[in-house]
A and B are shown apart, each in its own frame.
Chain A
Amino acid sequence: MIEVLDLEKSFSGQRVLHDVNAVFEPGKVNFIIGMSGSGKSVLTKCIVGLFEVDKGSVQYDGRDFTKMSRKERKEIRQEIGMLFQGSALFDSLTVAENVMFPLKMFSSMSTREMESRVAFCLKRVQLDGANHKYPSEISGGMQKRVGIARAISMQPKYLFCDEPNSGLDPQTSIVIDNLIREITIEYGITTVVVSHDMNSVIEIGDRINFVNQGTIWWKGGREDILKSNNEYLNNFVYASEFMKQVKKNLGQ
């Protein structure tokens, strides 16, 4: 479980996040949604420690990440897997080498064990034929799947996904969404997905946190989000014609 308590973050005197309180539960897909510029990416970067928080704390299963030494943080980070918006695969390494990278850095496995683990992870994301290809030689959807394989290679306790569907077609988006959900349930991981894709939220979101004006404006389940009376949330959720139609049908 990840808990965010009274978190605050400012840049050059401008307050980007304030009074942020959230709980991300294990074995569930926890969403952080919000409009562009609402502060959701900053919040995620604060949670994973890419940004230092000004106030408040981030607790990983009761361990206060914000007060940890560099060495202690390093240990926690080995329990974190992250899928980036642009996949962030290492260009100079092949697909298999990308997945093997965290293992090479931190595990005491033999080469054979590492190869076996890489093969397992790639098979898990249905990419067992692309081992020797470079990231530039595979599609965006495949890159995301390699990103997921790399994120789970160290058997993480926490998985972060930053805009996992950006730049993907609807069909591939559903494949990625289902993969995230399956992995979350299979390994009991605490998964945090940052997105503004309402399809994903409705598809796989267990707990949803709506960030607006630098704070958590609304939180609830997948079913609650469609019935909420929160004005800002409704403006966000029902922005598209498709969702307006969904609302209309719900009303009927």
Chain B
Amino acid sequence: MRLIYHTGRYFELIVNSFRRPEKFSVYWRQIVFEVDKIGVQSIGIVSLLSLFMGAVICIQTGANIDSGWIPTYTIGFTVRQTLILEFCPTIIPVIMAGKVGSNIASEIGTMRITEQIDALDIMGVNSAGYLILPKIVAAIFIFPFLVAISMFLGVGAGAVIGDLAGVVSYSDFEIGIQYDFRFFQVIYAMLKTVVFAFIITSVSSYHGYYTSGGALEVGKSSTQAVVYSIVLIMVMNLVITQLLLI
């Protein structure tokens, strides 16, 4: 029953968020602000994680290929496939759920308990639209860029570290990353990213918007936002992969 209740209330909130904005110029400014907050301010952490993960995947793959029958360019191929198919479009959003999701839930939750959302409603502003829509639009717009950056940096780090560590030469790695490249896999990755961006922002906003009580409840909403976002990302990851790759 609780699941049905929360699902219904979640969709009601999302429908309210997508109502016609009171003033497009104000919403536009909010979107730009959120793009900076959600996306630009996350470039650092995304880059750092991608560099290390690309390098580690490369070394681990190299360390696990013992057979001389397997060509060394397989390392480049494996790094590319791992990063494009799973690490960048799924693990990066999971990390973003922790960073951005908790931030959104606590920000909106605090606005709820300090009556700022009531103030918006009484003014006649669609509080759901004003607070949530710009976040969803900004995340859907900026997440694919973050994932693209992650892909390039991860593969690049794999190539550089693989060569420096003597795991695979740069030329072999290059052959690997070009081997059997299918552009559809990038589209699949980007599609996943967009869906996950929507999940993170909308689920986190939902938990923040319906916070009641005090500081303790804001913390609880923030945790729930991250947990439910990650669970939904995992479920949707399976669904999208089953639908698009099989």
Contacts and interface: CB of A to CB of B under 8 A. Distances in A.
A9 B35 CA distance: 42
B118 A50 contact: yes
B41 to A, nearest CB: 15
A151 B213 CA distance: 25
A238 interface: no
Given A104-B26, A105-B22, A90 B116 contact: yes
B22 A88 contact: no
B17 to A, nearest CB: 14
A105 B114 contact: no
A77 interface: yes
Chain A CB within 10 Å — which of B23, B122, B123 has the most? Answer: B123
Given A104-B23, A104-B26, A105-B26, A48 B115 contact: no
Given A90-B116, A105-B23, A82 B122 contact: yes
Interface of A: 48-50, 73-78, 80, 82, 84-86, 88-91, 101-102, 104-106, 154, 160
A160 B119 CA distance: 11
Interface in B124-158: 124-125
> At the interface, is chain A mostly helix, strand, loop or mixed?
mixed
Interface of B: 22-23, 26, 110, 114-116, 118-119, 121-125
Contact of B124 (A50, A85, A106): A106
Contact of B123 (A75, A85, A86, A105): A105
Nearest to B121: A50
Contact of A84 (B22, B118, B125): B118
A73 B123 CA distance: 10
Contacts of A91: 110, 116
A102 B123 contact: yes
A84 B121 contact: no
A86 B111 CA distance: 11
A106 B115 contact: no
Given A85-B115, A88-B114, A90-B116, A106 B121 contact: no
Q: Which 7 A-B pairs have the closest CB atoms?
A: A77-B124, A88-B115, A88-B119, A74-B124, A84-B115, A82-B122, A78-B124
Given A75-B124, A105-B123, A86 B23 contact: no
A51 to B, nearest CB: 11
Contacts of A82: 119, 122
B22 A77 contact: no
23 contacts: A49-B122, A50-B118, A73-B124, A74-B124, A76-B124, A77-B124, A78-B124, A80-B123, A82-B119, A86-B114, A86-B115, A88-B114, A88-B115, A89-B116, A91-B116, A104-B23, A105-B123, A105-B124, A106-B22, A106-B23, A106-B123, A106-B124, A154-B123
